[in-house]
Amino acid sequence: MHEPRLPVDECANKFRGRDKPARARFDDAHGNLTIMESTEPDQAPEATHGTTTEDADDFARQLPTPGRLIGLDLGTKTIGLALSDVTRMIASPLETIARKKFTIDVKALKTHIATHEIRGLVLGLPRNLDGSEGPRAQSSRAFARNLNKLIALPILLWDERLTTAAVERLLIEADSSRRRRSQVVDKMAANLILQGALDRMRLQSDQNPA
């Protein structure tokens, strides 16, 4: 079927307000443009940004079922990681990332996200004992905001007061050496952060069954 050819200015007018995608081809011989309707189905744009919440219910609603979550304990020199099972019942220590700069840290995190098919992140929020927030909590919030721009996954900020202290106490009771404690404390802290969030979401699910 012969394609309709229109002068350039008229063709431009035809493009305005079109409901369907279209493309144009320039005809050098006659100085005209050819409009061709796209046969591809309309597609909704993919999400390019993540979200951050402190509400476990809100976080759970954003998660597909099933799928693993990853927990993060953000330190000044390291990031401890923990991983849940696909049913989101049990957390396990995963790895400790030595921090370098944000883009490099995110690249390492993205590798784990792709490898384990992660569906959401739980990031520790180190509030003070009285509930106020100092520089470390502000740093965690800034990390989450920047991560939202690069990873299209929901993030739950989880109150991690006393988490690291609890891990240190457990390791001391287990008679771990100081060197050993320094190697595992961050991923163990991430494990407690993630397990706390998993337990909370499971409790809420049990109390409010679908």
pLDDT tens digits, residue range 164-207? 555 555 545 555 545 554 556 788 889 989 999 999 998 877 76
Residue 73's H or E segment, with its range, is strand 68-74
Angle CA 60–63–69, to nearest 5 = 90
26 pLDDT tier (thresholds 50, 70, 90): very low
Find, among 143, 158, 151, the residue nearest to 198 by Cα. 158
Looking at residue 44, its pLDDT comes to 43
Residue ranges of the chain that CATH labels 3.30.420.140: 51-207
Looking at residue 162, its pLDDT comes to 57
The strands making up 5-7's β-sheet, listed across from edge to edge, are: 5-7, 32-37, 22-27
Q: Say yes or no to pLDDT of 65 above 50.
A: yes
Looking at residue 123, its pLDDT comes to 97
φ, ψ of residue 66 to 5 degrees: the values are -90, -170
pLDDT over 90 percentage in the chain: 49
Give the mean pLDDT of the chain.
Answer: 78
Give domain 51-207's CATH architecture: 2-Layer Sandwich (3.30)
More confident residue, 119 or 4: 119
Looking at residue 185, its pLDDT comes to 74
